[in-house]
Amino acid sequence: MVSRGDLSFQVVDLPDEGVDVEGEVAFSAIDVEDDGVFTFPEALSYALHLAPLDDGILVRGRASGRAVRVCDRCLEPCVVELSAPDVCHLFEHVGRTVVDLTEALREDILLALPQALLCRADCRGLCPQCGCNRNEADCGCHESGADGDADPWGALDDLELGDRA
């Protein structure tokens, strides 16, 4: 069963072994919208197994996609891989008619969004004085020196081991 764009699945007369469903859905269809930090230019992929229980449906599988998120320091957009590898939701009392996975996948994807991101570990961020991206240009503004840029090896050099007789 392949679906595109709708996460409601008929579960009437689901065979005992269940069914596999896979497809793609727009992030906007699960109410995950661009918000100034994240944008979602591509679709979300999912591969799920719907298994019948006595009085419900067990949904297991995975979902994955890509988003664009701005770097916390320099605000440059970066592509981030999103993965919800352990989707697992129990729908009780569904009456064996239709199960709607919209809310379930939304939860899983929101958990997969990185809360913090640097474009690279040593991102130099924006200059607090002129606002330029210091990864791209050295604006030459005076550094306050208070933002932890100290070189740890420099501190070791200050110990100056060479003077021992």
CB 48 within 8 A of CB 8: no
- Least CB distance to Zn ion at residue 124 (A): 8
Count how many Cα atoms sit within 13 Å of the Cα of residue 100 in the half-sphere of its side chain: 5
Q: Does 123 bind Zn ion (CB under 5 A)?
A: yes
CB 35 within 8 A of CB 110: no
Q: Does 71 bind Zn ion (CB under 5 A)?
A: yes
- Least CB distance to Zn ion at residue 143 (A): 9
The continuous run of DSSP H or E covering 105 comes out as helix 102-112
Q: Does 127 bind Zn ion (CB under 5 A)?
A: yes
Q: Does 79 bind Zn ion (CB under 5 A)?
A: no
Q: Whole-angstrom Cα distance, residue 84 to residue 82?
A: 7
Q: Does 139 bind Zn ion (CB under 5 A)?
A: yes
- State the residues that interact with Zn ion by CB under 5 A: 71, 73-74, 119, 123, 127, 129-130, 139, 141
